[in-house]
């Protein structure tokens, strides 16, 4: 029996704009304590030291097994440990409705698409994240996606890859749950800094008020900037509220699948359901209300469209979205070695996200050289034509997949797998990722000649770099660093 779509109504979305994550918010309020009134604390204040303590605790969450019975060790403030331990105990379990078979299928799908998955992250999921103005304003205010764009991209990948690696959510040796819980507390830290306290206390009354801005100390870092920013709760709702978190979840699940369809390599209906289910499980671990999750592509299309329409109605000048998109595109363009191909990420983003999103993000403002424009659409058109014909006898053949894999290789090697700036993951996970990327070197669904053509546009042999001399990486981005 087909499931009847149940899309969250506007009345529920209105409520969710003023709802956050009580468990994580209470945890960070207990960790940080009350903020001084009317000033940004000096760098030696206990709140900043406790944020550093949380980061040290994150380093101990190396995999899912480390969460079981976790107790803080090392130089961590005794006041910080109990609330973190209570949070880990309460938040690490998968929801009762999680289906292990669907999760395993979603892992296989992500890994089968390999480098193509990176293109969809860069050219579809992340750009769509910026459409909602309130969420973009937080990221823009922090200055992280313009000044440190590639670092922010890698922080996002540091959650996605552990989640989608084999057993990431279901096995003790996986690390998906551990990484998701870190991101959940990062969101709570952002809310605590911007609102200068726990949002769950008196949020209905506070919705009629504003959090006034404070003078920003000279040379202030990310945390102090967020604390001083100020916030209009009546206009913008809570920062990183339930509606915004659910919207971001859609970009990693529904938008990924929609992009595969737009490239002409969409999945079967059952595979799409499995992939959406996996991201719903991630959403539950992130503290997202199940009423805001989608289970079919139709539901995803309806909810994404409604949330974007609501967000566009609240755009306030100055519009931060074009600056965020420009920073992302510049990072992608720098990764491409051939000048004629450098506009391809902009053209791919327009194609995958559509005209309205392209207008929102200012992607139409910069003209693309005519030769690059013609080459992009010629390659895409020919790929679709050839794929349509050959798939009559070879269903898994796809030149479109191979072309996007070439882009994905350069994004992977120049941005995500750069040895000088590794993903902020434990060394064991980095080595696992390196091994996986090495297996992506050849497309098992492509003929030998097409893989050899790929080699000429990427590199011969395995894609992974030599990690024998790599240094250990930090376990996670510091709390309060916004993740798209």
401-432 pLDDT, tens digit each: 999 999 999 998 888 877 666 677 878 888 88
Residue 204: pLDDT band with limits 50, 70, 90: very low
pLDDT for 395 beyond 60: yes
Residue 221: pLDDT band with limits 50, 70, 90: confident
Span 120-130, average pLDDT: 93
Q: Kindly tell me the burial class for residue 80, based on how many C-beta atoms sit within 10 Å of its own C-beta (0-12, 13-18, 19 or more).
A: buried
pLDDT for 229 beyond 50: yes
Which of 224-262 are b and which e, b meaning 16 or more Cβ less than 10 Å from the residue's Cβ?
bbbbbbebebeebbbbbbbbbbbbbbbbbbbbbbbbbeb
Instruction: Tell which wins on pLDDT, 220 or 69.
Output: 69
Asked whether the beta carbons of 213 and 230 are under 8 A apart, the reply is: yes
Question: What is the Cα–Cα distance from 422 to 414, expressed in whole angstroms?
Answer: 11
pLDDT for 88 beyond 50: yes
* Per-residue pLDDT tens digits for 32-49: 999 998 899 988 899 999
| Whole-prediction pTM | 0.91
Q: Kindly tell me the burial class for residue 290, based on how many C-beta atoms sit within 10 Å of its own C-beta (0-12, 13-18, 19 or more).
A: exposed
pLDDT for 2 beyond 70: no
pLDDT for 202 beyond 80: no
- Give the CA distances from residue 10 to residues 15, 296, 306, 410, in Å, rounded to whole numbers and listed in that order: 9, 19, 8, 41
Instruction: Tell which wins on pLDDT, 464 or 67.
Output: 67
Q: What is the reported pLDDT for 463?
A: 86
Q: Determine which of 297-306, 372-381, 396-405, 475-484 has the lowest per-residue pLDDT on average.
A: 475-484
pLDDT for 205 beyond 60: no
Q: What is the reported pLDDT for 421?
A: 67
- Determine the 3-state secondary structure of 374 from DSSP: helix
Residue 234: pLDDT band with limits 50, 70, 90: confident
Instruction: Say how many C-beta atoms besides its own lie within 10 A of residue 351's C-beta.
Output: 18
pLDDT for 469 beyond 80: no
Question: What is the Cα–Cα distance from 31 to 167, expressed in whole angstroms?
Answer: 31
pLDDT for 473 beyond 50: no
pLDDT for 146 beyond 70: no
Residue 251: pLDDT band with limits 50, 70, 90: very high
Span 147-165, average pLDDT: 83
Residue 470: pLDDT band with limits 50, 70, 90: very low
Q: What is the reported pLDDT for 216?
A: 80
Q: What is the reported pLDDT for 474?
A: 39
| DSSP letters spanning 380-437 | HHHHHHHHHHHTTT-TT--HHHHHHHHHHHHHIIIIIS-TTS--SS-HHHHHHHHHHH
pLDDT for 481 beyond 60: no
Most confident of 326-335, 346-355, 468-477: 346-355
Span 334-345, average pLDDT: 95
Q: What is the reported pLDDT for 419?
A: 63
pLDDT for 477 beyond 50: no
Q: What percent of the chain has pLDDT over 70?
A: 88
pLDDT for 222 beyond 90: no
Q: What is the reported pLDDT for 187?
A: 94
pLDDT for 197 beyond 80: yes
Q: Determine which of 57-66, 304-313, 456-465, 475-484 has the lowest per-residue pLDDT on average.
A: 475-484
Indicate the average pLDDT of the chain: 87
């Amino acid at each position: 029996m087909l499931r009847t779509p149940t899309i969250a109504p506007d009345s529920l979305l209105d409520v969710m704009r003023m709802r956050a994550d009580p468990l994580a918010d209470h945890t960070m309020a207990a960790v940080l304590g009350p903020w001084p009134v009317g000033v940004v604390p000096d760098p030696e204040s206990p709140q900043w030291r406790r944020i550093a303590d949380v980061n040290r605790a994150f380093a101990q969450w190396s995999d899912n097994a480390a969460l079981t019975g976790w107790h803080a060790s090392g130089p961590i403030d005794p006041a910080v440990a109990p609330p973190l331990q209570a949070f880990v105990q309460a938040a690490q379990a998968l929801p009762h409705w999680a289906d292990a078979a669907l999760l395993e299928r979603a892992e296989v799908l992500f890994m089968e698409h390999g480098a193509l998955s990176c293109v969809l992250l860069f050219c579809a999921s992340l750009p769509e994240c910026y459409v909602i103005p309130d969420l973009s304003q937080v990221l823009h205010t922090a200055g992280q996606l313009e000044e440190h764009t590639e670092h922010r991209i890698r922080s996002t990948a540091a959650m996605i890859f552990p989640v989608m690696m084999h057993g990431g959510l279901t096995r003790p040796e996986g690390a998906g749950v551990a990484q998701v819980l870190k991101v959940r507390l990062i969101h709570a830290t952002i809310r605590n800094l911007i609102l200068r306290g726990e949002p769950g206390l008196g949020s209905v009354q506070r919705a009629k008020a504003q959090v006034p801005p404070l003078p920003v100390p000279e040379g202030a870092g990310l945390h102090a900037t967020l604390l001083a920013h100020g916030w209009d709760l009546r206009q913008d709702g809570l920062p990183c509220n339930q509606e915004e978190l659910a919207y971001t979840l859609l970009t990693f699940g529904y938008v990924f699948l929609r992009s595969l369809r737009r490239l002409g390599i969409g999945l079967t209906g059952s595979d799409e359901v499995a992939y959406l289910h996996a991201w719903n499980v991630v959403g539950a671990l992130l503290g997202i209300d199940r009423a805001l999750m989608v289970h079919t592509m139709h539901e995803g299309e309806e909810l994404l469209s409604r949330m974007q329409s609501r967000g566009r109605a609240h755009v306030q000048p100055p519009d931060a979205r074009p600056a965020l998109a420009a920073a992302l595109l510049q990072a992608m363009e720098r990764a491409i070695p051939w000048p004629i191909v450098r506009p391809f990420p902009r053209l791919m983003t327009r194609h995958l996200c559509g005209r309205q999103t392209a207008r929102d993000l200012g992607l139409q403002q910069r003209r693309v050289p005519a030769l690059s424009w013609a080459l992009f659409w010629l390659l895409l058109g020919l790929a679709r034509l050839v794929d349509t014909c050959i798939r009559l006898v070879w269903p898994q053949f796809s030149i479109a997949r191979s072309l996007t894999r070439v882009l994905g290789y350069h994004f992977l090697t120049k941005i995500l797998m750069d040895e000088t700036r590794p993903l902020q993951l434990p060394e064991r996970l980095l080595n696992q990722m390196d091994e996986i990327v090495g297996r992506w070197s050849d497309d098992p669904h492509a003929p030998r000649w097409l893989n050899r053509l790929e080699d000429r546009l990427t590199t011969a042999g395995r894609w992974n770099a030599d990690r024998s001399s790599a240094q250990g990486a930090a376990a996670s981005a510091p709390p309060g660093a916004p993740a798209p």
